[in-house]
Amino acid sequence: MDFPPVTTLIPHRPPQLHVDRVVTANESGIVCETDFVPEHFPGHFPGRPIVPGVVMIEALAQSLACLAALAGERGQAVLTGVEKARFRGLAEPPVRLTFAVEVTDRRFGVTWAKGTVRQGDQVICTATLQAAVLPEGAA
């Protein structure tokens, strides 16, 4: 299935856009990908750049925001919590990372999800995310 460009789903733009494309999606989850190159992170660490953990968490959040947009939710999706983040490996550009997010609960306008970052078959990051969609025009 073809999905719309990520830039039509979420407001993020480079250099803060960390999701290149949606691979699969259904009502309970989404898988997105990104190709990182060394030029993304020239100062982290010079001579041997790695994808920062915070960028992996943000990419999971952006993936969840893409899922909300695909589900027709109107407004701005925002990350409201991160728990149990674990980093199990390094991602050294050039590298393709896959971001899988599975919704585990929805209540009172809040969504909880499990996120997994993979490099090939290797899991390099996991986290539990909490997010909400701010209605259009909300401050």
Instruction: Show which residues are catalytic.
Output: 44
Angle at 83 between CA 104 and CA 116, to 5 degrees: 60
Q: How far apart are CA 88 and CA 76, in angstroms?
A: 31
Q: How far apart are CA 107 and CA 115, in angstroms?
A: 18
Q: Do residues 121 and 57 touch, judged by C-beta distance below 8 A? A: no
Q: Do residues 68 and 128 touch, judged by C-beta distance below 8 A? A: no
1 CB burial (10 A radius; 0-12, 13-18, 19+): exposed
Reduce the DSSP state of residue 111 to 3 states and report it. strand
